[in-house]
């Protein structure tokens, strides 16, 4: 379902050059807290989604001082940077911005702030506006006074009616990939890492949280201060404000949610501490001190977002039986793969998402058993195999080739997540866990708090995994995984007997209209139901749809993973009974992954497209800007098959 779009490359793309390995000695892996300070490595790989020039200067620390105003839907105040100049001849600081009003820029000299000249370029459609500050003296501290736009692409402002409680307004950020620049002027590239502090003022009845040191016992008083002592890339900047309360899961883990949601969330996610312990045993200490979850309103556009110390989580995974908690394992796993060892640009997406999907599956296996983790693996691989054939050769490789552009808001593809995870599973199978687990742990230690490229991973694997274990994996096999298309020959095949039973049950029903026995389906988890629906033919007869619906109440299901598969089947099968609950689903949930398949199915016919337009018009004010843009694209690109009724008369010009 993660679709992948290629757009013509308009920017000069730097070839995938070997990054200059500006490596630092590995920090003590057991030490929490900040790793290397000065001289954060910057890879030679140019990030074409940023105007920043990190070879000249990098942000070392950011101090925010902001007023958060729900009435004007703005953040306004100052961003003060501590800069590390790298090029003695540099005389400008280039920052990324989008839809920001820049009021003033100053540099500090001898304890005094002096105005600096600056120019804000016209906006580029995807990159936003380059902000060029004249810094002839290469000041160590520079301060920008700015305000955000109510339409900031990285923020969503919700009225009280759009929350569970209905009393207080809510706002939250989603910075990945390149939306941090819409709420803070930044070098908005993961190649730059910095520490940050923030002071945020807002109405006193609202709680504010950031991807930083949120105190579980923080008092609501309208002024909040934060420190993030570990270096992070800009896409991990995060903020949320609303009627939020805290409940602990353990000494270092807990849940923030609206009061009406907190108990259900804690019950669903009470395995979080066990997940942290499991990952620490495999891959070394959790280095970010606290790990909390923030449950967002249903308009949150993603399943989860790994904001450091505070993962942002969709409420749509709270289904009452913990069947979708691998999402928490995933976001937690990013504390190693992604937040600790970060891709140098979204082009190396698999370093974040593929490694994380592999680690996620290991956590799920340790907590819920191999039968369960295998079901999740097989479901992901089936989806990947269905998707990969339709992709261009360039998109099928883990290492994106020069000239392949990814749109910053394109959902990452199954290649990035599942081929990436499959690659690591292949290495695990060949080398054995006794060798592969310590290798991966060593990789996290070696590159901790650095941003790296695919080539750096490959070099490291050749040196620390392939070379010491000769004859286990050939260079050709490694290259096939990293640079090749499709699924390599060497891919390990996992079978899931439990999903095999589901296949038999589905086949039997399609042949005989005999539903599987209750003793069987009574034991099915969400994963088995997903697989049951995934394997259905394109369309079913109305009788078949009604039989399934009567037996299993798919229409109106509170489980979004089932809704996103059932409703498209209902649309294709013209099963009208599902339509009203389906439109209600589209109006109440804004998670992209769940609503996109339904809109896509609707856009196939003129009648469906008309309905899609109508529902979208109602739902749009409640959707996040990223979801709204994605749905708009589906509607704009729709080429519905013309049904006979809609065909123009033959003589019409």
Distance (Å, rounded) from C-alpha 248 to C-alpha 110?
Answer: 46
Instruction: Please name the residue ranges forming H helices in 389-516.
Output: 393-396, 414, 420-431, 433-446, 454-461, 475-483, 497-512
What number of other Cβ atoms are within 10 A of residue 569's Cβ? 23
- Residue 333: CB minimum distance to Zn ion, A: 8
CB 387 within 8 A of CB 454: no
> Among all residues, whose Cβ is closest to ligand BES?
303
**Residue pointed to by tokens 């996040």:** 624
Q: What are φ and ψ of residue 422, in 5° steps?
A: -65, -40
**Residue pointed to by tokens 């409640």:** 622
Structure tokens at 485: 């298309």
- Residue 44: CB minimum distance to ligand BES, A: 24
Span near ligand BES by CB under 6 A; candidates 33-41, 298-306, 507-515, 630-638: 298-306
Sites for Zn ion among residues 300-359 (CB under 5 A): 353, 356
Distance (Å, rounded) from C-alpha 197 to C-alpha 81?
Answer: 11
Helix (H, G, I), strand (E, B) or coil at 451: strand
Q: Name beta bridge partners: 67.
A: 76, 201
Site map 356..395 versus ligand BES, x via CB under 6 A:
----------------------------------------
- Nearer Cβ to Zn ion (356/559): 356
- Nearer Cβ to ligand BES (129/356): 356
- Nearer Cβ to ligand BES (417/422): 417
> Please, what is the Cα angle at 519 between 365 and 270, to 5 degrees?
35
Sites for ligand BES among residues 2-41 (CB under 6 A): none
Is 305 an interacting residue with respect to ligand BES (CB under 6 A)? yes
Q: What are φ and ψ of residue 143, in 5° steps?
A: -125, 130
Q: Contacting ligand BES (CB under 6 A), which of 193, 287, 309, 330?
A: 330
Q: Name beta bridge partners: 194.
A: 232
Pairing of strands 253-257, 170-173: unpaired
Task: Write out the DSSP string of 29-68.
Answer: TT--S----SS----SS--TT----TTTEEEEEEEEEEEE
Is 317 an interacting residue with respect to ligand BES (CB under 6 A)? no
- Nearer Cβ to ligand BES (133/598): 598
Is 593 an interacting residue with respect to ligand BES (CB under 6 A)? yes
- Residue 593: CB minimum distance to ligand BES, A: 5
Interacting residues of 462 by C-beta distance below 8 A, sequence separation 6+: 475, 478
- Nearer Cβ to ligand BES (1/574): 1
Helix (H), strand (E) at residue 75 = strand 74-85
454 binds, among Zn ion, ligand BES, none (CB under 5 to 8 A by kind): none
Span near ligand BES by CB under 6 A; candidates 226-234, 325-333, 446-454, 504-512: 325-333
Helix (H, G, I), strand (E, B) or coil at 634: helix
Sites for ligand BES among residues 398-457 (CB under 6 A): 412, 417
304 binds, among Zn ion, ligand BES, none (CB under 5 to 8 A by kind): ligand BES
Span near ligand BES by CB under 6 A; candidates 151-159, 200-208, 302-310, 517-525: 302-310
- Among the listed residues 331, 360, 428, 528, the single catalytic one is 331
Is 297 an interacting residue with respect to ligand BES (CB under 6 A)? no
Q: Contacting ligand BES (CB under 6 A), which of 237, 319, 327, 363?
A: 327
Is 306 an interacting residue with respect to ligand BES (CB under 6 A)? yes
- Residue 230: CB minimum distance to ligand BES, A: 18
Strand residues in 310-396 grouped as ranges (E): 310-313, 341-343
Is 181 an interacting residue with respect to ligand BES (CB under 6 A)? no
- Nearer Cβ to ligand BES (342/557): 342
Distance (Å, rounded) from C-alpha 525 to C-alpha 445?
Answer: 37
Is 353 an interacting residue with respect to ligand BES (CB under 6 A)? yes
Interacting residues of 125 by C-beta distance below 8 A, sequence separation 6+: none
Site map 82..121 versus ligand BES, x via CB under 6 A:
----------------------------------------
Quote the longest CA-to-CA distance of the chain: 85
417 annotated active-site: yes
Span near ligand BES by CB under 6 A; candidates 57-65, 180-188, 323-331, 444-452: 323-331
561 annotated active-site: no
CB 21 within 8 A of CB 456: yes
CB 195 within 8 A of CB 34: yes
Closest Cα to residue 234, out of 310, 182, 286, 287?
A: 182
Residue count, binding to ligand BES (CB under 6 A): 15
- Nearer Cβ to ligand BES (312/579): 312
327 binds, among Zn ion, ligand BES, none (CB under 5 to 8 A by kind): ligand BES
Sites for ligand BES among residues 473-532 (CB under 6 A): none
Distance (Å, rounded) from C-alpha 494 to C-alpha 371?
Answer: 11
Distance (Å, rounded) from C-alpha 81 to C-alpha 142?
Answer: 5
Q: Contacting ligand BES (CB under 6 A), which of 176, 342, 396, 600?
A: 176
Handedness of CA 48, 53, 58, 61 (dihedral sign): negative
Helix (H, G, I), strand (E, B) or coil at 321: coil
- Nearer Cβ to Zn ion (355/502): 355
Is 202 an interacting residue with respect to ligand BES (CB under 6 A)? no
Q: Contacting ligand BES (CB under 6 A), which of 334, 348, 425, 498?
A: 334
- Among the listed residues 146, 377, 417, 623, the single catalytic one is 417
Enumerate binding residues for Zn ion (CB under 5 A): 353, 356
Enumerate binding residues for ligand BES (CB under 6 A): 176-177, 302-306, 327, 330-331, 334, 353, 412, 417, 593
Catalytic sites, residue numbers: 331, 417
């Amino acid at each position: 379902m993660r679709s992948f779009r290629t757009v013509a490359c308009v920017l000069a793309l730097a070839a995938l050059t070997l990054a200059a390995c500006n490596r630092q000695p590995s920090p003590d892996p057991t030490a929490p807290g900040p790793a290397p300070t000065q001289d954060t490595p910057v890879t030679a790989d140019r990030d074409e989604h940023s105007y920043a020039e990190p070879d000249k200067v990098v942000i070392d620390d950011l101090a925010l001082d902001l007023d958060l105003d729900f009435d004007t839907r703005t953040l306004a105040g100052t961003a003060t940077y501590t800069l590390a100049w790298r090029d003695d001849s540099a005389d400008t600081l280039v920052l990324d911005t989008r839809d920001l009003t820049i009021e003033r820029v100053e540099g500090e000299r001898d304890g005094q702030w002096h105005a600096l000249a600056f120019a804000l370029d016209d906006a580029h459609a995807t990159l936003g506006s380059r902000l060029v500050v004249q810094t002839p003296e290469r000041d160590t501290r520079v301060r920008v006074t700015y305000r955000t736009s109510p339409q900031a692409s990285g923020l969503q402002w919700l009225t009280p009616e759009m929350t569970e409680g209905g009393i207080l307004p809510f706002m939250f950020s989603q910075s990945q990939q390149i939306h941090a620049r819409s709420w803070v002027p930044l070098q908005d590239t993961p190649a730059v890492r910095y520490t940050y502090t923030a002071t945020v003022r807002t109405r006193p009845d609202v709680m504010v949280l950031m991807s930083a040191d949120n105190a579980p016992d923080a008092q609501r008083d309208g002024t909040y201060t934060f420190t993030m002592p570990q270096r992070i890339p800009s896409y991990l900047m995060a903020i949320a404000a609303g009627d939020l309360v805290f409940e602990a899961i353990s000494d270092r883990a807990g849940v923030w949610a609206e009061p009406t949601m907190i108990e259900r969330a804690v019950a669903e996610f009470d395995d979080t501490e066990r997940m942290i312990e499991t990952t620490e045993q495999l891959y070394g200490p959790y280095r970010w001190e606290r790990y909390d979850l923030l449950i967002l309103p249903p308009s949150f556009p993603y399943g989860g977002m790994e904001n450091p110390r505070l993962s942002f989580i969709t409420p749509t995974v709270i289904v009452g039986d913990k069947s979708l908690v691998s999402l928490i394992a995933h976001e937690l796993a990013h504390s190693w793969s992604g937040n600790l060892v970060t891709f140098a640009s979204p082009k190396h997406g698999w370093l974040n998402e593929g490694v994380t999907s592999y680690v996620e599956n290991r956590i799920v296996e340790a907590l819920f058993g191999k039968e369960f983790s295998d079901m999740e693996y097989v479901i992901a691989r089936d989806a990947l195999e269905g998707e990969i054939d339709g992709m261009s050769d360039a998109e099928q490789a883990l290492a994106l080739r020069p000239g392949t552009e990814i749109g910053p808001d394109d959902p990452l593809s199954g290649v990035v997540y599942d081929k990436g995870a499959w690659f690591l599973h292949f290495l695990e199978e060949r080398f054995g866990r006794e060798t592969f687990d310590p290798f991966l742990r060593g990789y996290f230690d070696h590159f901790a708090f650095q941003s790296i490229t695919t080539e750096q991973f490959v070099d490291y694997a050749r040196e620390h995994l392939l070379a010491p274990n000769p004859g286990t994996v050939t260079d050709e096999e490694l290259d096939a995984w990293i640079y090749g298309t499709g699924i390599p020959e060497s891919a390990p095949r996992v079978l899931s007997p439990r999903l095999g039973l589901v296949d038999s049950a589905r086949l039997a029903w399609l042949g005989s209209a005999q539903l599987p026995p209750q003793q069987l389906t009574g034991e099915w988890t969400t994963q088995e139901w997903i697989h049951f629906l995934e394997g259905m033919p394109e369309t079913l007869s109305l009788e078949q749809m009604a039989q399934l619906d009567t037996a299993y109440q798919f229409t109106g299901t509170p489980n979004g993973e089932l809704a996103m598969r059932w409703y498209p089947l209902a649309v294709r099968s013209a099963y009208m009974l599902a339509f009203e609950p389906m439109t209600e689903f589209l109006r109440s949930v804004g998670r992209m992954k769940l609503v996109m398949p339904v809109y896509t199915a609707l856009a196939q016919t003129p009648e469906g497209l008309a309905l899609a337009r109508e529902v979208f018009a109602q739902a749009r004010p409640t959707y996040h800007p990223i979801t709204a843009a994605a749905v708009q694209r589906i509607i704009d690109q729709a080429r519905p098959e013309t049904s006979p009724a809609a065909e123009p008369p033959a003589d019409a010009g």
